[in-house]
Amino acid sequence: MTTTKPFVIVTRKLPDAIETRMMELFDVRLNLDDTPMSRVDLASAMQEADVLVPTVTDRIDNELIAEAGERLKLIASFGTGVDNIDLDAANKRSIMVTNTPGVLTEDTADMTMALILAAPRRLAEGERLIRSGEWGGWTPTFMLGHRIWGKRLGIIGMGRIGQAVARRARGFGLSVHYHNRRRVHAEIERELEATYWESLDQMLARMDIVSVNCPHTPATYHLLSRRRLQLLKNDAYLVNTSRGEVIDETALTQLLTEGAIAGAGLDVYENEPAVSPKLLALDNVVLQPHMGSATIEGRIDMGEKVIINIKTFVDGHNPPDRIIETMF
């Protein structure tokens, strides 16, 4: 890295305030029209840049990293998840990777709680009915959903977001349960009144609502496989605001179609932006376009973290959000 301003390439449009600050600090190339970079464009950017600022939609695999220019020393990702980046390949090329953890916790937990409410209470169905103009008025047995007060919520992944979901869930009278790679500290369990399940299978079989809040890693790919999804009660609901790859979406769609699972609330998909037509056709699913972290405040906070990571790295120090390993 030279003593001059680093050359930073940003792959997508960021909030104006963040782009302005980047222009003040760095020699930066912005993506003003927000057109997604093709693989060729991404490879070219990695040849030129000192620092690349990608987003979760940019797939930076081993092949791209192997062809990166000698100048590229930092991939400062605009996002929390780094499953789109081959971390091993980056490490072998001595390219540091950073992300933006923590700032999206409350926003994602809000969306998770919204879906926990929306799916059992059939909110999306009701909204579609009103817009169709076919609502005939209230009756005692019309659009009956399920109460969530007193139900069991099973959280998969008790990190920052999982804990934030648990705090919200307690306010709605849910009994909090969780499965995690490692049991959380006893003080956190007491605060959240959370019950730990070492066996994911046993927890799934006993929950009324399951929320997926773990990252996508090789260890969590299809963590909720067909076999595990079949453990859910037929009146259970599944919510996912993490990554679509954690769930076998084909199996989930089939079980929802058959009524083997009561419903789902999904903000992420296995092959997004493509969503299965079979999933789109289901009335018992609330679908959102990966907007769990989509708040103005959150996006600005993410951008500020990116700037801090770049500035710290350029100054010769370890960035605060350097990726070492991922787990749940």
Q: What is the pLDDT of residues 135-160, one digit of tens each?
A: 999 999 999 999 999 999 999 999 99
What are the Cα distances from residue 182, in Å, to 40, 165, 301?
A: 41, 18, 29
Q: Of 122, 228, 243, 299, which residue is the catalytic one?
A: 243
Report pLDDT for 4: 84
**127 neighbors 118 (Cβ within 8 angstroms):** no
Q: Give the whole-angstrom CA distance, residue 162 versus residue 294.
A: 18
What are the Cα distances from residue 237, in Å, to 80, 160, 256?
A: 26, 22, 10
How many residues comprise the chain?
328
Print burial letters for 272-291: b (CB count within 10 Å at least 16), e (below 16).
beebeeebeeeebbbebebe
What's the whole-number mean pLDDT along residues 94-117? 97
- The separation between CA 57 and the C-alpha centre of its own chain, rounded to angstroms, equals 12
Q: Give the whole-angstrom CA distance, residue 13 versus residue 32.
A: 6
What's the whole-number mean pLDDT along residues 49-69? 96
pLDDT at residue 1 above 70? no
Torsion angle in degrees (nearest 10) through CA of 115, 243, 248, 262: 0
**119 neighbors 180 (Cβ within 8 angstroms):** no
Q: Nearest-CA neighbor of 194 among 208, 181, 184, 202? A: 184
User: What CATH homologous superfamily does 7-103+295-314 map to?
Assistant: NAD(P)-binding Rossmann-like Domain (3.40.50.720)
Lookup result for tokens 């979901």: 165
Q: Give the whole-angstrom CA distance, residue 269 versus residue 242.
A: 9
Whether residue 134 lies in the annotated active site: no
Report pLDDT for 146: 97
Q: Give the whole-angstrom CA distance, residue 184 versus residue 195.
A: 10
Tokens of 172: 């709605």
What would the pLDDT profile of 198-213 be if each residue is shown by its tens digit? Answer: 999 999 999 999 999 9
Whether residue 272 lies in the annotated active site: yes
Same fold, 7-103+295-314 and 105-287: yes
Q: Of 48, 189, 191, 272, which residue is the catalytic one?
A: 272
Cα radius of gyration (the chain): 21
Report pLDDT for 324: 81
User: Which DSSP string do the residues of 265-276 spell out, in sequence order?
Assistant: EES--TTTT---
One-letter identity of residue 121: R
Give the H or E element holding residue 29. Answer: strand 27-29
Report pLDDT for 325: 59
Cis peptide before 273 (omega within 30 of 0): yes
Confidence category of residue 328, pLDDT binned at 50, 70, 90:
very low
Whether residue 243 lies in the annotated active site: yes
One-letter identity of residue 321: D
Tokens of 135: 């609502």
Domains of the chain: which residue ranges?
A: 7-103+295-314, 105-287
**12 neighbors 31 (Cβ within 8 angstroms):** yes
Report pLDDT for 3: 57
Report pLDDT for 12: 97
The CATH classification number of 105-287 equals 3.40.50.720
